Structure 1
Amino acid sequence: MIRFENVSVSYDGAEHAALSGIDLTVPEGELCLLVGPSGVGKSTLLGTVSGLVPHFTGGTLRGRVTVAGRDTRTHRPRELADVVGTVGQDPLAHFVTDTVEDELAYGMESLGVPPATMRRRVEETLDLLGLAGLRDRPIATLSGGQRQRVAIGSVLTAHPKVLVLDEPTSALDPAAAEEVLAVLQRLVHDLGTTVLLAEHRLERVVQYADQVILLPGPGAAPVVGDPTEIMAVSPVHPPVVALGRIAGWSPPPLSVRDARRKAASLRERLAPLTPPVPKAVAMTKDAASVTGLSVRHDRVPALRDVELSVRAGETVALMGRNGAGKSTLLRTLVGMHVPDRGAVRVGGVEPRRTSPRELLRHVGLVPQEPRDLLYADTVAAECAAADHDAQAAPGTCRALVSGLLPDVADDTHPRDLSEGQRLALALAVVLTARPPLLLLDEPTRGLDYAAKARLVEILRGLAGQGHAIVLATHDVELAAELAHRVVILAEGEVVADGPTAEVVVSSPAFAPQVAKVLAPQPWLTVPQVRDALEGA
């Protein structure tokens, strides 16, 4: 269905080719998973399938890419629209209408689908993706995860032969991610749709893949094969594979079910050992306090009577399904929403009554959309502006960027970075001011496992220095690794608030892979298991 023949892509001024020597085939009716570290060209490879590369993004494409027999060099994206459906990393860039139902219908209108067929397909897609309750909602009022599902749905309604998806579950809660992956499997198995997707959260998807394409590094030739074979050697792999490597399981398991079948001996080795207890937060000073907080968006309740306090040095993970109110709570803490009722204080001040320059001394927010914070033409200019605004020593922001993104050059334009790289740059910009309270909205979206590990170390260091951190995240592995407490929101209300180990282990939806494999033992992460075995 998709054929790459000695494909290379390069951009003017770039030190290395974005892709080099790609020669492979994606068969019809298979789910093919594209993996590799951030910045190795996964999004570029996907773009060559839809014709966005080079017709829209520019650059030089050498070699040949054919989709259902059509050469993407001679067919522009609109001439491939009936064959290829594409969902990029940024759902907002995908939308052309105002409401959910209109967006689902728009692509079919462009293709001239009969009205009766359009109506039936819209209803089918609303049900498939759990969007029926949102059909009349303005897209601007949706959460990031809800927008992601609408973007996927708008592509599905056209019934393309090939689906190209870039980080399709990155903004979805675990349950919504499972729903989307179930839909993709149904399309592959029942309708013969070919699915090519790139994803960093491999724990969600690798067990469903028929084939894996590994891009090991910039310009390196891909490694293609069975998921088990590739995961045995891949530098990026889910926690269950890392656990299998520690335990010496061969071949490595790809799912929790496979791992549990092999885990009896590992449980025996771990039985006399105990996981390390997270260091208690010594400080008692509140970095933020929320009392009886209620917030509405138009007439829709977003938060209801929320009570929350965050101490200096404490890391709190906000979790819950898409639309539960996590982002609204973070934005209220920086004064972007006016409470209907209740009180909000950050560092002793009320955010809505405090000037932005003064508020920067108390709190910093890294939003879901990093482009909201980035406006300069180069990474170096962004860093220089961040140092100036924060009155920090020159080079402070650049050092943070290097810690998160070791290979990004100073003269790189932020728009040329991947979604994960832009997020890391925005994080560095906010961290430059070293705010006592740091708010992060989906901070691992688009980050590979290595970048996530670097982020964890930076955030741990900040918490150790007394900074309070609040993460709104669907990444259960991040919460298990980093958070002292987990707060779960549902329909704008706090339904759970307690130590991480207690909250996530008691919830099948929010338990990390290691906890599921080794239950009922209280292990949460691969580093916990590794350190315990090495010290035994």
Structure 2
Amino acid sequence: MIEFSQVSVTYPDATRPTLSTVDLLVEEGELCLVAGRTGAGKSTFLGAINGLVPHFTGGLLSGRVRVAGKDTAKHPPREFADVVGVVGQDPLAGFVTDTVEEELAYGMEQLAVPPEVMRKRVEETLDLLGIAELRNRPLRTLSGGQQQRVAIGAVLTAHPKVLVLDEPTSALDPTAAEDVLAAITRLVHDLGTTVVVAEHRLERVAQYADRLLHLPGDGSVRSGTPAEILATADVAPPIVELGRLAGWSPLPLSVRDARRRAGPLRDRLSEVVMRPNVAFGALDAPNATLGRSGPALEASSVQVRYGDVAAVRGVDLRLAQGEILALMGRNGSGKSSLLWAVQGSGPRSGGRVDVGGADPHALKPRQARALVGLVPQTPGDLLYLDSVDAECAQADHESGAAPGTARGLLDRLTPGIDGALHPGDLSEGQRLSLVLAVQLTATPPVLLLDEPTRGLDYQAKRQFAAVLAELAARGRAIVVATHDVEFVATVAHRVIVMAEGEIVADGPTKDVVVASPAFAPQVAKVLAPQAWLTVAEVAKALR
């Protein structure tokens, strides 16, 4: 179905090809997972499938790419519209209509699908993705995860032979991600659709994949079964890292397979826990270093309304200095609305926020940002200069930091980004790293991060967690709104779960996530009833 023959892609002014002499064949009806570090070339690989690379992006493509018998060199991307459906990393950027139902129908209108067929497909897609209640909602009023599901639905209605998805679950809560992946799996097995998925959260997708394509970053592409490739890849989900640590072969890809082998490991860990002064997970608990000083932020009875919709319903929130708080909950539960209301830039219908004796909502924007920094779900909105180096230099200047501070943070998160590049030319993960470096340079007393790990690979997330831990140790208070349960297990002292604008759970990370089937990390599921959260925690215990 998809054939790459000696394909190389080189962008202008690049020192080396992004893809180099790639040869591979993806069969019809395969679910193919594309993995690799941030900036390794995954988006370029996906774009080459329907000709967006190089027809739209520019650059030089040598070799041949054929999809369903069509050569991308001879057919422009518009002629692949009925063959390849593409969902990019930023759903909002791809929308062309105003409401959910109109967006689902738009692609079929361009393909001249009969009206009665269009209506049937719209209904089927609404049910398939669980978004029927959103049909009349304006697209810009949806949460990031809801927008992502609508974007997937908009390409599914055209019934493409090949579906290309770039980070399809990055903005989805765990339950919604499972629903979307189940729908994608049904397309593969019931309709024979060929699906190519690029995803950093391999723990969500690896068990469903027939083939894994690993881009190590040198332009090559390694192809094989997921277990075979992940045995040596530089990116691997926690369950694979646990298998490597325990010496399991072949490596498990699902919690079920891992639990079947984990008995001896659980026995070894139970002996560790029975030692004096050792409790489950106490060997590497983040809250062991939590500062005991006063509150950095206090909010009471915060309310946010959008017309008749109550997004936040009288929430009380207290954040200590040096605390890292994870804010979790399904898509549309009110997390982002709460962050914007607390920061002062978003609407607040009622309630009070106190940061250092001041309410950010009553201050000028620059003064509010000095008290409470916010990285939104669309971080690119904060970038306005023409190069990476210019953004870093401006961050240093505005924050009064030493020259090179922002660039040093960027290199810790995602090393090797060319400083002369325009921020718009970066991958989604690289752009997010740049915004995080810019915002972290300012280090206000309170820092709010909305889905800060989208597009980051495992190594970048480890570095990011280390940066947050350093900031917390210096007394900064941090709120991370995220669906990334593995990141929460690594970095958070405390977890709050929201539902329908209200707080339904609040407690130490271990107490909240282990008790939740949806929010428990892979290690906790494999080693239950023992309460271990991360592979690093287990490795330290075994030592």
* TM-score, normalising length: structure 1: 0.98
Question: Alpha-carbon deviation of 1:280?
Answer: 4.9
Partner in structure 2 of residue 369 of structure 1: 378
Q: Secondary structure at the match of 1:233?
A: coil
Partner in structure 2 of residue 65 of structure 1: 65
Give the whole-Å Cα distance in 1 for the aligned partners of 2:81 and 2:491.
43
Partner in structure 2 of residue 424 of structure 1: 433
Answer yes or no: is the 8 Å Cα contact 1:360–1:433 preserved in 2: no
Q: Secondary structure at the match of 1:241?
A: helix
Instruction: Output one character per residue of 1:4-63: Cα deviation in whole Å (capped at 9) or x when no partner.
Output: 001011111112211111100010001000111111100000000121111111111111
Instruction: Output one character per residue of 1:404-452: Cα deviation in whole Å (capped at 9) or x when no partner.
Output: 1211121122112111111110011111111111111111101110111
Answer yes or no: is the 8 Å Cα contact 1:301–1:492 preserved in 2: yes
Give the whole-Å Cα distance in 2 for the aligned partners of 1:162 and 1:390.
47
Aligned to 1:322, which of 317, 322, 331? 331
Give the whole-Å Cα distance in 2 for the aligned partners of 1:69 and 1:347.
64
Q: Is the aligned partner of 1:149 residue 2:149? A: yes
Give the whole-Å Cα distance in 2 for the aligned partners of 1:352 and 1:466.
23
Question: Alpha-carbon deviation of 1:360?
Answer: 2.4
Instruction: Output one character per residue of 1:152-204: Cα deviation in whole Å (capped at 9) or x when no partner.
Output: 00000000000000000000000000011001100000000000110000000
Give the whole-Å Cα distance in 1 for the aligned partners of 2:296 and 2:308.
30
Partner in structure 2 of residue 489 of structure 1: 498
Partner in structure 2 of residue 48 of structure 1: 48
Give the whole-Å Cα distance in 1 for the aligned partners of 2:433 and 2:356.
25
Q: Is the aligned partner of 1:477 residue 2:476? A: no
Partner in structure 2 of residue 255 of structure 1: 254
Instruction: Output one character per residue of 1:282-319: Cα deviation in whole Å (capped at 9) or x when no partner.
Output: 33321111111111122211000111111110000000
Q: Is the aligned partner of 1:171 residue 2:171? A: yes
Partner in structure 1 of residue 222 of structure 2: 223
Instruction: Output one character per residue of 1:362-389: Cα deviation in whole Å (capped at 9) or x when no partner.
Output: 1111111111111111110001111122
Give the whole-Å Cα distance in 1 for the aligned partners of 2:119 and 2:354.
48
Q: Which piece of structure 1 moves more, 278-287 or 147-156? A: 278-287
Question: Alpha-carbon deviation of 1:92?
Answer: 1.2
Identity rate of aligned residues, in percent? 63
Distance 1:54-1:453 versus aligned 2 partners, 3 A rule = same
Partner in structure 1 of residue 277 of structure 2: none
Equivalent AA in structure 2 for residue 301 of structure 1: A
Q: Which piece of structure 1 moves more, 292-301 or 258-267? A: 292-301
Give the whole-Å Cα distance in 1 for the aligned partners of 2:347 and 2:168.
32
Partner in structure 2 of residue 98 of structure 1: 98
Partner in structure 1 of residue 199 of structure 2: 199
Partner in structure 2 of residue 265 of structure 1: 264
Give the whole-Å Cα distance in 1 for the aligned partners of 2:354 and 2:196.
46
Q: Is the aligned partner of 1:502 residue 2:502? A: no
Q: Secondary structure at the match of 1:20?
A: strand
Answer yes or no: is the 8 Å Cα contact 1:333–1:346 preserved in 2: no
Q: Is the aligned partner of 1:457 residue 2:466? A: yes
Equivalent AA in structure 2 for residue 350 of structure 1: D
Aligned to 1:287, which of 282, 296, 308? 296
Q: Secondary structure at the match of 2:186?
A: helix
Give the alignment's Cα RMSD to 1 decimal.
0.9
Equivalent AA in structure 2 for residue 418 of structure 1: S
Question: Alpha-carbon deviation of 1:77?
Answer: 1.2
Q: Which piece of structure 1 moves more, 98-107 or 328-337? A: 328-337
* TM-score, normalising length: structure 2: 0.97
Answer yes or no: is the 8 Å Cα contact 1:2–1:27 preserved in 2: yes
Gaps spanning 5+ residues in structure 1: where? none
Q: Secondary structure at the match of 1:272?
A: helix
Gaps spanning 5+ residues in structure 2: where? 274-280
Partner in structure 2 of residue 119 of structure 1: 119
Alignment length (residue pairs): 533
Give the whole-Å Cα distance in 1 for the aligned partners of 2:420 and 2:261.
49
Partner in structure 1 of residue 348 of structure 2: 339
Q: Secondary structure at the match of 1:307?
A: strand
Answer yes or no: is the 8 Å Cα contact 1:41–1:218 preserved in 2: no
Q: Secondary structure at the match of 2:271?
A: coil
Equivalent AA in structure 2 for residue 226 of structure 1: T
Question: Alpha-carbon deviation of 1:281?
Answer: 2.4
Instruction: Output one character per residue of 1:54-86: Cα deviation in whole Å (capped at 9) or x when no partner.
Output: 111111111110100001111111110000000
Answer yes or no: is the 8 Å Cα contact 2:291–2:323 preserved in 1: no
Equivalent AA in structure 1 for residue 295 of structure 2: D
Question: Alpha-carbon deviation of 1:351?
Answer: 1.4
Q: Secondary structure at the match of 1:73?
A: coil
Q: Secondary structure at the match of 1:360?
A: helix
Equivalent AA in structure 2 for residue 273 of structure 1: V
